Structures are given as structure tokens and as C-alpha cells.
Structure 1
């Protein structure tokens, strides 16, 4: 019974992986266009907002379906607490910017499956995605504030790059509550990426050293075996010469 239900959950995730990825891309586009082109007619702004809310609701529905299909539901919730928070918190208007992270989570899951075993590809794609999304979010939060120092997308991208790499020049920084929430999310993402890269790099170095040590040990064993074989051969030759000397008749 449990295995069958787990198979249903896995089948649902496989079937919805492609459509959810496409919806996440549309979600990001609908969010980005009004920010990058604020002069768009009001009708387009409303259409993009409606698309965002609709797709976000579909993401919520996907979470609910996955929750119902899993047998160990408490374990599922515990393993997806961040997903749940990202889906529920945007209900509060001050936290509506967190709707962006629903799309990021969907795309990250897809990227992880697509680039499995390719560290550089996964880290690069995830970093670009986080920078793009964080820049949009912080520009959306900061643009209307008269005290803001992030007023263009170029400034926002520069700030996102500086923040995710933990450099922190301080020439651009968020001044609004929403912008600071975006900064916190980007900092956490940056720390996670750096930890992931550092851990993977350390593992790769250890594996390489282990392989070299194994090769060295194998080579040493081979050399020792060869020397022992040569010593044995020399002993046999010496023994044969002694026997020949003993057997040789004494010359009168």
C-alpha cells in the first residue's frame, strides 16, 4: 500500500515536472516585464499580476497534491518546510515578493535533476537564476522609495552579484523592508551555494588524493614484487652455479 502510494507521488512529480518548469518561466517573465518596463499600459500590468497570482496558486495546488499522495505526510512536510513557508507567506501583502521564490524552487529542482553530476553547470545555472530573481525583486521593492540607492536594473544586478559572493562593498543596499527580505534570502542562497561548492571541491580534492595514493601504493607494490622476483632469480642462479662447481670433476 505504501509502495503503491509512493509510486503515485513519484509519477505525479514526473508528469508535472515539465509543465511546472514552463509555468515557472512564465511566472518570472510576467514578474519581470512590468519591472523592467514600468511604462507599460495599466492593462498589461494587471494581466501580468493576474498571471503571477494564478501560477502561484497552481504551485500551491501542486504542493497540496504531493502532500496528499505521500503516505508519510508529516515527514513530507518536515522535508519541505521552506517550500511551505514560501507558498504561504506571500498571502501577506508585505511578503508578496516571496512569490518569486516559488518559481526559483521549481526551477532549481529541475536544474538539479537535469545537471546531476555536473557541478559547474548546476552551480552556474542556480547562481544566474538567483541573481536575476533577486535583482528583479530588490528593484521592485526599492524603486518607489525616495531614499533608495538601487534605482535601475544595472544597480540591482551589481548589488545581487556583490551580495551573493559575500563581498559586500556597501555602495548599493536595500532601504525598504521588502528589499531587506530579498537581501536575507539572497544571502542565505549565497551561503548555501558557497558551502555546496566548498564541500564538493573538498570532496573532489580528497578523491583525487586518494586515487593518487592508491596508484602510488599499487606502483610501490609492483616494484617490490619485481625486485623480489629478481632476487629470487639471482638466488636460483647462484645455487645452480654452486651445484655445477661441486659436480665438476677435479682436474689432475
Structure 2
């Protein structure tokens, strides 16, 4: 492991919990600011805390990018981290890492992956609905001709939009509100598909469990078993293990 990789590992270990706390602070403060309509000093404090969380995510991204080697490959693999810096509504997704832990050795790698995908899928969907509801309420509450006036209305609209139901009883009328709706619809299609695929994989795994003897052996299975048998069989010594009788003939 190179020096930069070691430094990256140490940095991520040190900042993991502070950044998780920053994501939680952002979620709580932004929720309070929108629903309680802070003014004056309270709004200034809330805005300062939100800005501080942005600085924390920005510094973390810059430090990790500077430690990455090669930087181009790291940049391509961490586009979501950049998006979390640019789009505040993505920062609470960081909270999901707290609930994702490697499972014990009793579970297969596929089961571990499905569990992590399910946690991320459901958690991201709920956070997406919550943040989108707050965002659309903030821009639509006092818009002329708008009808999303309360957080309850915004939550209902967000759930209808993310599931692509679209009753049409609440509709954003501002340009920022419609942009939020587009992002929510796109995110909803992806997340619902992810959850459905993960659940389907889990059902198939449960149905086929206990019927492994009916599964056709692959070429890799045959080669692996052949190698194991070769390793376990005793190796003959000299003329295939037979006494040398050639001189007596």
C-alpha cells in the first residue's frame, strides 16, 4: 500500500463519524428552518450551520482528491461525492453508511450485497422524499398560483411523485419546483427499480435454496473438484508404485 493510500485510509477513518454528524445536523437544521420558518437571528444561526456542513463536505472532497492516485480514476468513481458537495439534498445519504455493516461469515457474499443494497435503496428513497418535500415547500409556499402550502402537502406530493403515481392534486408552479420534481421522478424510477430487483433476487435465492442438487454443474465446478481430487489422492512413487522386476525377465 502506497503512502497516499495509507493517508487516505487514515483520513476516511478519522472523518467518517464527523461527516455523518454533519449530515445529521444538516437534515435537522434544514427541516427546522423550512417547517418553522425561522427569521432574524434564528435563521442566521441555521444558515451558518448549514454552510458549515457544506464546508465540511467540501474540505473532505478536496483532501481525498488530493490524496487519490491516480486522481482521474478516483474522480470518475466518486461522482456522487461531488454531487453531495454541489447539491445539499444529497448530504443526508451519508447517514445510511451508519446502518450498513458487513455481515458475519454465515451469510454469503450475495446476501451481504443484497442487504446493503436494500438498506441503501429504502433509506435513500425515504431521504429523497423528505428532502424533496422540504425543498419544494421552500420555493412553492408563497408562489403565485401554487397550492403546496404546508409540509403535509409537500410530503404527499413527494410520495406521489417518487412512486410515479402523480394524482395531480398538488403541482409545483415555479421553475425551481419543477426542477425538483424532475429530479425526484428520475430518482424514484431508479430507487424503485433497485428495491424491486433486490427483493426479487432475495425471493429467488429463498426459492432455490435447498434445491442445489438440481443445479447443473458448470465447467468451473468440474475443474475445481478435479483439482481437489488430484490434491488428495496419494502420488505413486517410481514405476507407478510397482516393484522393478525388469531385470528378472
TM-score tier (shorter): 0.7 to 0.9
| Contact 1:139–1:156 (Cα < 8 Å) also in 2 | yes
Q: Per the alignment, in what secondary structure is the counterpart of residue 191 of structure 1?
A: helix
- When structure 1 is superposed on structure 2, of 51-60 and 154-163 the one drifting more is 51-60
Q: Please state which structure has a larger fraction of its residues in helix.
A: 1
Cross-structure match for 1:17: 16
In the superposition, the TM-score normalised over structure 2's length comes to 0.73
Q: Quick one: distance in 2 between partners of 1:52 and 1:118?
A: 29
| Contact 2:137–2:154 (Cα < 8 Å) also in 1 | yes
Stretches of structure 1 that go unaligned for 5 or more consecutive residues are 89-97, 219-252
Cross-structure match for 2:229: none
Cross-structure match for 2:71: 73
What displacement does 1:213 show?
3.2
TM alignment of 1:146-185, pairs within 5 A: 146-185=144-183
| Contact 1:17–1:110 (Cα < 8 Å) also in 2 | no
Q: Quick one: distance in 1 between partners of 2:198 and 2:164?
A: 19
Cross-structure match for 1:84: 82
In the superposition, the TM-score normalised over structure 1's length comes to 0.72
What displacement does 1:108 show?
3.7
- When structure 1 is superposed on structure 2, of 161-170 and 203-212 the one drifting more is 203-212
What displacement does 1:208 show?
3.1
- When structure 1 is superposed on structure 2, of 122-131 and 140-149 the one drifting more is 122-131
Relative to structure 1, is the Cα distance of residues 203 and 217 closer, same or farther in structure 2, using a 3 angstrom cutoff?
Answer: closer
What displacement does 1:217 show?
7.0
TM alignment of 1:196-207, pairs within 5 A: 196-207=194-205
Cross-structure match for 2:30: 31
Relative to structure 1, is the Cα distance of residues 84 and 212 closer, same or farther in structure 2, using a 3 angstrom cutoff?
Answer: same
Q: Per the alignment, in what secondary structure is the counterpart of residue 132 of structure 2?
A: helix
Q: Quick one: distance in 1 between partners of 2:157 and 2:118?
A: 23
Q: Quick one: distance in 1 between partners of 2:199 and 2:158?
A: 24
What displacement does 1:7 show?
2.7
Q: Quick one: distance in 2 between partners of 1:62 and 1:114?
A: 24
| Contact 2:96–2:119 (Cα < 8 Å) also in 1 | no
Larger Rg: 1
Stretches of structure 2 that go unaligned for 5 or more consecutive residues are 104-111, 217-249
| Contact 2:93–2:127 (Cα < 8 Å) also in 1 | no
Q: Per the alignment, in what secondary structure is the counterpart of residue 74 of structure 1?
A: helix
Q: Quick one: distance in 2 between partners of 1:112 and 1:74?
A: 28
Relative to structure 1, is the Cα distance of residues 3 and 154 closer, same or farther in structure 2, using a 3 angstrom cutoff?
Answer: same
